[in-house]
Amino acid sequence: MIHLVPPAAGETDAICSRLREVLMGSVQECLRASPRPSLLLSGGLDSSILAALASGIHADTGAAGMIAVCIGHDDAQDMRYARIVAERFNIRLLMKCISVDEMLYAAREIIRIMHSFDPMEVRNSIVVYTAMRELEEHGIKHVMTGDGGDEIFAGYSYMLRMNSEQLRHELARLERIMHFSSIRIAEDLHMNLSLPYLNRAVIEYARSIPVELKVNEYEGKRYGKFVLRSCFEHILGKDVAWRAKMPMEQGAYTSILSSHLDSMMSDEYLARRRREYIDRDRVRIRSKEHLYYYEIYRGMFGAPYSMDCRSDGARCSECGACISPDARFCRVCGAFPTKPVPAG
């Protein structure tokens, strides 16, 4: 575990002041880039901070020039929190309750855009894709997202178990390899995308913040992004600032696809296809959902082992896709941890 040594109060105040300043500057740049800015608002910490800062920039009118969009299935938690944030900061909010059929349509598009049949990638990216499509229908072509907050401020749950040195190493590694489906989806939909947390000034300042302020304890519970929560609690409200980290698929409840696809397919079909695809395509199928996505992927791109890898590259041991020799994760099939094997 990380050794918890809180900085002195004066030092913390200075960090918060500078952090709010660099984030505000980044959001200002994004808002200046478009006459009709918009925000993907999940009601989670990162997007709520962007909403609050945008509201502060438009202090005279609330954030009258901004539209936020939230996507969810049924009574998804993200939709409940997004309403709270939008009302708190006087932001116009578009809400779309997405059906399972709409998710399945979006899943096919995600597989096409991302060249991936990783269930988690698909379920998470459905939210981004559907939100951008909703904005597009309202004539909005510029969107901000909260991508990057988890990577530079230690937002992932597995980081809570790391000691200080492990966390420093992991944050440096993530900064080198971080990857966001929003970038490719925006390109495909011809949307202009802004990522305020990935502004150079924000990244550089985040590096300088002690890791003990990125993961720490509050009211007896360990939190990632501790510094963001602490520095913005008085602006966001305690309920939003200390909302538990929730993957997009859970917050928007696109995770329902897993059980839905499980009910659509027999165990016998899964077993037969598993045998066929490991023998024919060298792909290990992990679930009915995984199989459903793979069959779409295969129809579009063929078997992953047919990819032409670089001579110094490697292949995923679970699907044969090209990956880096030091990769731990395969973006094509979602295998983790994967064991890279020589491409030759």
Distances (CA, A) of 84 to 54, 56, 98, 146, 222: 16, 17, 20, 17, 24
Is residue 293 within 8 A of residue 119, CB to CB? The reply is yes
pLDDT of residue 39: 97
Helix (DSSP H) and strand (DSSP E) numbers for the chain: 15, 10
Model confidence pLDDT, tens digit, residues 104-159? 999 999 999 999 999 999 999 999 999 999 999 999 999 999 999 999 999 999 99
pLDDT tens, residue by residue, 166-192 = 999 999 999 998 999 999 999 999 999
All domains of the chain in start order, with CATH: 9-251 (3.40.50.620), 265-342 (no CATH)
Q: What percent of the chain has pLDDT over 90?
A: 86
- Whether the link from the prior residue into 210 is cis, omega within 30° of 0, is no
Burial grade of 302 (CB within 10 A; 0-12, 13-18, 19 or more): exposed
Report how far residue 328's alpha carbon sits from residue 277's, in angstroms, rounded to the nearest whole number: 23
Tokens for 124? Answer: 């998470």
Residue 55 is predicted with a pLDDT of: 87
Per-residue model confidence (pLDDT) at position 58: 62
CA distance 304 to 317: 11
Q: How many CA atoms lie within 13 A of 82 on its CB side?
A: 24
pLDDT per residue rounded down to tens, the chain (344 residues)? 444 455 555 678 899 999 999 999 999 999 988 878 899 999 999 999 999 999 887 654 444 578 999 999 998 999 999 999 999 999 999 999 999 999 999 999 999 999 999 999 999 999 999 999 999 999 999 999 999 999 999 999 999 999 999 999 999 999 998 999 999 999 999 999 999 999 999 999 999 999 999 999 999 999 999 999 999 999 999 999 999 999 999 999 999 999 999 999 999 999 999 999 999 999 999 999 999 999 999 999 999 999 999 877 899 999 999 998 888 899 999 999 888 999 86
**pLDDT number for residue 1:** 46
**pLDDT on residue 9:** 54
**Is there a contact between 218 and 210 (Cβ–Cβ < 8 Å)?**
no
Task: Quick: pLDDT tens for 239-253.
Answer: 999 999 999 999 999
